[in-house]
Amino acid sequence: MTQKTSLALLFGGRSSEHGISCVTAGGILAAIDRDRYDVTAIGITRDGRYLHVSDDPADWQLKDGVAPEVPSSGEEVLLPTGKVEAGQGAQLRIVRDGRLLPFKRVDVMFPLLHGPYGEDGTIQGLFDLIDMPYVGAGVFASAACQDKHFTKVLLSAAGLRVADGFMIHEDDYRADGGELAKRQAQELTLPLFVKPSRAGSSVGVSRVTDLSQLEQALETAFAEDPRVLVEAGVSGREVECGVLQETPRGGIMTTLPGEVRTGDDLDFYDYESKYFGKGTVEIEVPARLEETQIEQVRAVAEKAFRAVGLEGLARVDVFVTDDGIVVNEINTMPGFTPFSMFPVLWAQMGLSYSELLTHLIELASNRRTGLR
């Protein structure tokens, strides 16, 4: 009988997207092939502790509009500190009531973490240190894509269009009373979007239609991240494209684009409208674009994936404008519930949710560890 691959799902974490990460885990726990994978669920608390938690999908669903959280206490998980030998798997230890349980083998890690302290290269660095296979992008690409400013720098260097804007650090803002930020903002076309540079799910994002709103928007963003990006709004259609590696060193596959349209009751597609039903939102898959626009979006998504050295998967968000494609953001671990855009895009291409998960895990299993 073939031995199952031992898989650890890591979710929760220290970022403001803790709850959404837990919901993502619930979707994956419900769909993953249990005949093929022996699953261990590891929840990371808001203060960064690793706990052995329930692998029942029902425990990780939205309930009455409230996202679940990893409990503050429970069985602790001790990650390995030494090099994992190829084919041997990592040996985890679980602490129950002060006692070490027998070793738990794990062959592949699947980090479902959104935002800082997980999607930003930190956990990927830990896995690389011990040669542990894991799903998704490596350290550099994860870090670069988590920071919206540096994503734009890399994309611009690759010849891809991005929105006009600037980055400001909270310390510099405080030092000059915000004078430089005000001058730079005056050079941009309204409306402006003020974003924490390293947050996701539109947490801390504000739309500024008058420069008198800039100070409050910056304070909202600084509450999430000392590095804040201020961008000129782009007039165009919001379109998203899924990207997958076909093999660890092989071709790149892209989906037909999907489109997000918001009603007049929303200023933009914010955190509450993405996850909690606020306002009027219509998601259309595939997007009704001209054939040439579809080809352009897919080509830009593939080029962006390669430009930042991504691996495994990504969702590339763009604006389709009258004079071309403008890249908005790259998500290295996009929302992954069965109803999230990324799996829906791949389902439209004939790859089911369960098959998509299997593809990603097998990519990670067959990818070389260490320097690639």
Q: How many residues does the chain have?
A: 372
Between CA 342 and CA 336 the distance in angstroms is 7
Whole-angstrom distance, CA of residue 40 vs CA of residue 91: 12
Per-residue pLDDT of the chain (372 residues; tens, 9 = 90+): 568 999 999 999 999 899 999 999 999 999 999 999 999 999 999 999 999 999 999 999 988 888 999 999 999 999 887 788 776 788 899 999 889 988 889 999 999 999 999 999 999 999 999 999 999 999 999 999 999 999 999 999 999 999 999 999 999 999 999 999 999 999 999 999 999 999 876 788 999 999 999 999 999 999 999 999 999 999 999 999 999 999 888 799 999 999 988 766 666 565 565 555 556 668 899 999 999 999 999 999 999 999 999 999 999 999 999 999 999 999 999 988 888 899 999 999 999 999 999 999 999 999 988 887
What does the CA dihedral 204, 209, 214, 216 come to, rounded to 10 degrees?
-50
Residues 6+ apart with CB under 8 A from 194: 205, 206, 208, 214, 217, 218, 220, 221, 228, 229, 230, 231
DSSP 47: T
d(Cα 119, Cα 25) in Å, to the nearest integer?
Answer: 14
Residue 268: what pLDDT?
A: 59
The residue behind tokens 């679940």 is 68
Q: What is the SS3 string spanning 81-123?
A: CCCCCCCCCEEEEEEECCEECCCEEECEEEECCCCCCCCCCHH
Residue linked to tokens 């030998």:
85
DSSP 204: T
pTM of this prediction?
A: 0.91
**Is the CB of residue 111 less than 8 Å from the CB of residue 333?**
yes
Cα distances (Å, whole numbers) of residue 67 to 22, 40, 64, 351:
7, 21, 9, 28
Complete DSSP assignment for 163-187: --EEEEEHHHHHHTTTHHHHHHHHT
First to last CA, the chain: 33
Q: Which domains does the chain have, with CATH numbers?
A: 5-136 (3.40.50.20), 144-161+236-332 (3.30.470.20), 165-232 (3.30.1490.20)
Q: What is the DSSP string of 315-368?
A: EEEEEEETTEEEEEEEESS---STTSHHHHHHHHTT--HHHHHHHHHHHHHHS-
- CA–CA–CA angle 211, 161, 196 (5° rounding): 45
One-letter identity of residue 48 = G
Alpha-carbon distances, residue 344 vs 31, 285, 354 (angstroms): 14, 8, 12
Buried b (16+ CB within 10 A) or exposed e, 333-364: bbbbbeebbbbbbbbeeebebbebbbbbbbbb
Name the residue type at position 274: K
